[in-house]
Amino acid sequence: MKRPVLRALLTGAAMAIPLGAVQADDLRGALINAYQTNPDLQAARANQRANDENVPIARASALPSLQATSNYTEFVKQTANNFLAPSRVVSNDLQLSLPIFAGGSVKNSIRAAKTRVIAGQADLRGVESGVFSQVVAAYMDVIRDEAIVGLNRNNVSVLEVNLRATSDRFEIGDVTRTDVAQSNSRLALARGDLRTAEANLVASRERYIQIVGAPPVDLQPPPPLAGLPSNPDDAVDVAVDANPDLAAARERSKAAGYDVKVAGAGRLPRISVFTAGNYTNYLGSLGSPAGVPTAQSQTTAQAGVQASIPLFQGGLPAARERQAQAREGAALEQEIGVERQVVATVRAAFTNWKAANDVIAMNQTAVDAAALSLEGVRAENTVGNRTILNILDAEQELLRAQVQLVAARRNAYVAGFNLLAAMGKAQAKDLSLDAELGNAALYDPNVNYERVRGKIWDWAHDPAPKAQSTRTVDSPAQDATIREQPMP
């Protein structure tokens, strides 16, 4: 039984953000910024608009065609025995043709084009979901790396205090030179770990700018995810109905079936009606027998029906039909392949999400235990039961547990969002971005399709395209500065 999936996947009291002034300081703001300015998403929308044009292209074969031809001919040399030939002539022809029957090829071409438009719209939803997954990962990477930098800086500060205290105790003979060396070694390693963490933070912030289009500014903790399934079977049921990649594969299979009919129409008759008119003017240069007046211009008109009946084409129609059938078979197999991939992805994502949440609980236990252990080791050191090395080890154990906890929280959130994306529930409407932007601001690919599907005017072109995404070349280079936060 399918479990209802909440439409609002990101909950929380996020205030509306006006267009053009999006501040990506929370996850909702980052998603909106990417929705409006990400180049991958903008390019996918443009490609879908190009896909829309395949429908009027296919329909053009069913519409009348009107063609005019004008010629001016100057006879620079005539035969000496022809006294009636003109010296020059102007000829104008106008021909109108209307196809009546094409064996179903035009009809099925239009159907195939429409079906591929639907498939392209599903692909666009998939790109949108993929971009949002990248935004969430980049957002959580910055939060994680900021926390890790803070933990490492705190660790360096603690070890610096330890080194000074150990040096002071060495001066009074309470500890040995070995204890000082061990403290100094751990401090050097901690400083190296801090530099690595800072470099990772800079890389995460630059990646965030690449995806979102703006620098991260005081990122807030993300809101909880809603609509997550209770078991993998529920997740698969939702994905089979809603995953955009699977929906696109199904539509392409249908389109391939229409292609077979188009190919088979190549052996059927084609019928069209036509009418034509001609005006010819010899510009007074047409000769005439003596005493017989000759008209220097003439007008003619014709109308008729033309039937083209293929009798033998060397097996071309049959070969094209077999080729289209093979491609339909490939599309059907690919549909099953995509379904397999979706099922496997959803089940794996569910497992990763569940495991990541379990890891959080385990790491939290490890942090609590390591903190308690460090407190006890320090107390025991004061009475001589523990060495400086024991303290250093306990501090390192606590740092490791804290870093793993931060990483586990990031992994759990990203895994949860990836699960929603695999289920087909991580698009703009699913995330309630329409509540922030308004329905009119959400990109609807069907609007452009309805705009162009019936256009028949040869000069109905669009304005020259302009890039909609924002450039980041002028964004400031990122550093590892973080806002001071109380350590856990």
- Residue 10 pLDDT > 50: no
Model confidence band, residue 83 (pLDDT cutoffs 50, 70, 90): low
Q: How many domains does the chain have?
A: 1
Q: Is residue 395 part of a domain?
A: yes
pLDDT one-digit tens code per residue, 217-242: 889 999 999 889 999 999 999 999 99
Q: Is residue 144 part of a domain?
A: yes
- CA 311 – CA 255 distance, rounded (Å): 28
- Residue 4 pLDDT > 60: no
Q: Is residue 46 part of a domain?
A: yes
Segments forming the whole domain that contains residue 410: 27-63+106-266+318-452
pLDDT at 75: 84
Q: Is residue 427 part of a domain?
A: yes
Question: Which CATH number do you get for residue 169?
Answer: 1.20.1600.10
Q: Is residue 470 part of a domain?
A: no
Q: Is residue 32 part of a domain?
A: yes
**Most confident segment among 6-20, 108-122, 365-379, 456-470:** 108-122
Spatial CB neighbours of 237, under 8 Å, sequence gap ≥ 6: 1, 2, 3
Task: Report, as an integer, the average pLDDT of 395-408.
Answer: 89
pLDDT at 487: 44
Cβ 400 vs Cβ 205: under 8 Å: no
**Most confident segment among 58-72, 165-179, 367-381:** 58-72
Name the residue with tokens 């610096």.
Answer: 160
Percent of the chain's residues with pLDDT above 90:
60
Task: Report, as an integer, the average pLDDT of 412-427.
Answer: 95
pLDDT at 440: 61
- Residue 78 pLDDT > 90: no
Least confident of 93-102, 299-308, 384-393, 449-458: 384-393
Q: Whole-prediction pTM value?
A: 0.86
- Residue 431 pLDDT > 70: yes
**Whole-number Cα distances in Å, 56 to 59, 169, 426, 458:** 5, 86, 32, 11
Considering only CA atoms, which of 4, 6, 3 is closest in space to residue 226?
6
Task: Report, as an integer, the average pLDDT of 192-205.
Answer: 94
- Residue 36 pLDDT > 60: yes
pLDDT at 371: 87
Q: Is residue 228 part of a domain?
A: yes
Q: Is residue 331 part of a domain?
A: yes
Cβ 56 vs Cβ 452: under 8 Å: yes
